[in-house]
Structure 1
């Protein structure tokens, strides 16, 4: 079985989808499925420094990068047009048994769906939250035009649509898409335990040993709800805490965050380390006291899953797909998106550390037992095989 994965970008700045695509392919390869990725060298306002137009080993998987058209006009640059990728897909897509397309409303995804259909190669699509109500409301006129002209047809003619949560599937149902669909949550690699992470983190950040650390660790984007989290924290200035705001976004949005911190007089209580990976990321997750993510929309919410896997208490919004999956199991605090309520529940979490740790341990066990990339890959292989078999039966 040869599976081609197409995604507009795997740059870290693009957040969870990049990690998910790489981890999915790695897990499939470990189970003997020949999987690889084609993408562009997109890296937000910059370009990745990677070899182009040839297969290369990147973070343990086989990836071929193609040049992204990079004009000064942001919307056009973000569309990730690539003539080289188009040419390669047209001449090579038929050598694969199935194409798994990650993301929509982007040139690489759209052209991959069109070419797969013309070349009669079965394909599935992971919209990655772009069909949720909140996402469709952003730049709504452009998206509706794009959806009606191209993407709805591409989705309807796919062999299946992959949703990561029941919530994502339900929100997309308003579009009345005709393609079949399935729900498969993401997985994660369980982190190595860092002994005495709490003390090590405070030493690393040059903070007192008893300092409370509230962590945000995700892509910096307007949908992440920092416009709610920061004002909520401002209501708790009488509490002893440091806000560890880790992540990377566009220069414009990062400037907005800095202005928001200044407005609410939290600059001196906030540490902004930028984008973190590897052991430092694990240290942040294992050594902090509370993880907050008040997103307006998350089709799944990898950051929440990672925090739970690390044994860190989580406060999040009902709009996070993963949170909605576990809301009846008392594994995290799910809080309405109101500044006063968020502040109240953060204060509650800080005042009840024993209760929060008990909840975090339940969550950690649940994640370890139910969300691994090996399990995800096995489920995907079954789905891939069913679609390939059905496609072969329909072929003349």
Structure 2
């Protein structure tokens, strides 16, 4: 089974989606199944040559020609090289790749799967709403409706997709995680609260910094980690400079990858993600895998974390974040925080390993190509 995987970035610039592509297809299940039948297609950037080696398959990078990610070379490659009855799995929306797949689809040569990764939730649609309404009308709704299956990360994303398309089959498959070994909760006197995500308005970072200025933090530090997107870091730095942080420590690190990221998780005593909008955030699964207790909003789409007592719910407002921070810093003991972190570890161990996720992804591929009966995680209505 030949599978072509299209994403805008085939490097760390792709954030959590790149992590998904890297880990999902490197699982033992995937390696045994695909046997060099994976081709990753995207755009080159300064990290592409290094990071492409982390993908389990052939990677083909092209130069970005404009902000809409138009590429004549990608168009020519796909029209000339796509094998009949292969699968194209698209991991982006709102860009030229959607139009391209509509044109390719006219010949019915392949099976199309789309993974929106949270790009259809309410906040995402309202962010740049005019352009997205036009885009939906012109081509994106037709692109979604013509898919053989759309991949949702959770029940909430399933409902968001259903608002766009009443008929397209939807598979609910979460992201996964690789479990590290010999992990214990950090009980050192100097404690770190870790925020790790793209610096983007939807992550709620501005309200987090404003809330942090009002926390009685004792010996806690706030560590902000992530690459900048759209110069949002300038706004955050301006907020930070205008606040009176007193003794509260805050550190901006920028992007962290590989061993540097592992070390941040190992030294973290708390993880926080006050997002307005998410698909299913990889960083929360990663935090749980390191037994780090989590503060997160309901919009992170991991309600199972609240149910399993692996996370504390906050809102994305300054007041909601402040309440959560004060609870963890001033009310809960190290032992109580360690229990929350261990609950998270047991949760990902049971529900979110890449081996289990890979099995479902392969079943979705086999179903759309008419090789097996419909699995129960694929919904027709």
User: TM-score over 0.5 for the alignment?
Assistant: yes
Match of 1:2 in 2: 2
Q: Aligned in 2, Cα 1:263/1:13: closer, same or farther, shift over 3 Å?
A: farther
Q: Does the alignment pair 1:31 with 2:11?
A: no
Question: Structure 1 stretches of 5 or more lacking a match?
Answer: 71-76, 200-208, 392-396
| Alpha-carbon offset, residue 24 of structure 1 | 2.2
Q: Does the alignment pair 1:90 with 2:79?
A: yes
Match of 2:353 in 1: 372
Q: Aligned in 2, Cα 1:296/1:251: closer, same or farther, shift over 3 Å?
A: closer
Q: Write the deviation string for residues 301-338 of structure 1: whole angstroms up to 9, x where unpaired.
A: 111111011100100001001x2233322110011223
| Matching residue within 219, 225, 229 for 1:246 | 225
Contact preservation (8 Å) 1:125, 1:162: yes
| Alpha-carbon offset, residue 101 of structure 1 | 1.0
| Alpha-carbon offset, residue 109 of structure 1 | 4.0
Match of 1:202 in 2: none
Q: Aligned in 2, Cα 1:58/1:355: closer, same or farther, shift over 3 Å?
A: closer
Contact preservation (8 Å) 2:308, 2:347: no
Partners in 2 of 1:109 and 1:192 — Cα distance? 40
Partners in 2 of 1:299 and 1:305 — Cα distance? 12
| Alpha-carbon offset, residue 238 of structure 1 | 5.2
- Once the two structures are superposed, the pairs formed by residues 316-355 of structure 1 within 5 Å of their partners are 316-321=296-301, 323-351=302-330, 352=332, 353-355=334-336
Identify which of structures 1 and 2 has the higher relative contact order when contacts are C-alpha pairs closer than 8 Å and 6+ apart.
Answer: 2
Match of 2:128 in 1: 139
| Matching residue within 103, 109, 118 for 2:107 | 118
- Of stretches 292-301 and 364-373 in structure 1, the one that deviates more from structure 2 is 364-373
Q: Aligned in 2, Cα 1:85/1:58: closer, same or farther, shift over 3 Å?
A: farther
**Structure 1 segments of 4+ aligned residues over 6 angstroms from their partners:** none
- Once the two structures are superposed, the pairs formed by residues 48-197 of structure 1 within 5 Å of their partners are 48=47, 50=49, 57-70=53-66, 77=67, 79-95=68-84, 97-193=86-182
Partners in 1 of 2:197 and 2:86 — Cα distance? 34
Contact preservation (8 Å) 1:7, 1:102: yes
| Alpha-carbon offset, residue 95 of structure 1 | 4.8
Partners in 2 of 1:223 and 1:147 — Cα distance? 21
Q: Write the deviation string for residues 109-149 of structure 1: whole angstroms up to 9, x where unpaired.
A: 43134314434211110011111111000111111111111
Partners in 1 of 2:117 and 2:253 — Cα distance? 27
Partners in 2 of 1:238 and 1:371 — Cα distance? 33
Q: Aligned in 2, Cα 1:81/1:265: closer, same or farther, shift over 3 Å?
A: farther
Contact preservation (8 Å) 1:155, 1:177: no
Q: Does the alignment pair 1:307 with 2:284?
A: no
Q: Secondary structure, in 3 states, of the residue corresponding to 1:265?
A: coil
Partners in 2 of 1:157 and 1:234 — Cα distance? 49
Partners in 2 of 1:341 and 1:232 — Cα distance? 9
Q: Secondary structure, in 3 states, of the residue corresponding to 1:185?
A: coil
Partners in 1 of 2:320 and 2:53 — Cα distance? 47
Partners in 2 of 1:239 and 1:247 — Cα distance? 25
Contact preservation (8 Å) 2:191, 2:268: yes
Partners in 1 of 2:217 and 2:312 — Cα distance? 22
Contact preservation (8 Å) 1:164, 1:185: yes
Match of 1:216 in 2: 195
After TM superposition, the score normalised by the length of structure 1 is 0.86
Q: Aligned in 2, Cα 1:164/1:107: closer, same or farther, shift over 3 Å?
A: same
CA root-mean-square deviation? 2.3
Q: Secondary structure, in 3 states, of the residue corresponding to 2:369?
A: helix
Match of 2:364 in 1: 383
Q: Secondary structure, in 3 states, of the residue corresponding to 1:220?
A: coil
- Of stretches 334-343 and 141-150 in structure 1, the one that deviates more from structure 2 is 334-343
Aligned residues: 365
Partners in 1 of 2:296 and 2:257 — Cα distance? 22
Q: Aligned in 2, Cα 1:110/1:97: closer, same or farther, shift over 3 Å?
A: same
Question: Structure 2 stretches of 5 or more lacking a match?
Answer: 373-381
